[in-house]
Amino acid sequence: MNPWKVFLKFSDESEFEKTLELFDAKPYFGGYLKIKRSYFNDLEKTIKMTKNYLTRRGIEKVLSPDDDDWTYNPWILILLKDNEKDKSFWLFIKREKDLSGELVAIGPKPFADYNNNNPEAKHEIKRLINYIVAYLNKFKCTLILPNHLL
């Protein structure tokens, strides 16, 4: 399966550039997981409450597994680092017009591979999404937004 490719470019003093490969979430849910608008409201409150969570602009370009350009969409890339288990998780979410979202892809590859072989993947991914707003000290979290948004 071809991955989603997310090209990151940060316009700070470092001029950092990187490409991440994320793996389509559709197989885990029989479609894309719908995330309610209220979740994003809770996430915004969480970001304001803790120093472990931050937002920044950095998504420069997005290519689908079919190499279609999906750059000009309202993306959120959530990069998580579990403080206890020293593991990383990536969640790639597309916001919708009604301000809900859809989980489009996950990464990095070890996380995707683990879920490919796990019959409980659907529940574990949902649990991880909920833990982000429930257990503030469990993670270091960076939300990366598109560079094209104002």
Mean pLDDT, the chain cut into blocks of 10 residues (150 residues total): 90 77 92 95 93 93 96 96 93 96 96 88 92 92 89
Rg (CA), the chain: 15
Domain with 83, as residue range(s), is: 4-146
pLDDT value of residue 119: 84
CB distance 91 to 101 below 8 Å: no
pTM exceeds cut of 0.75: yes
d(CA 133, CA 143): 13
pLDDT value of residue 102: 97
Domain tally, the chain:
1
pLDDT value of residue 131: 94
pLDDT value of residue 5: 97
Phi, psi of 69, deg, nearest 5: -85, 115
Q: Residue 24 in 3-state DSSP?
A: strand
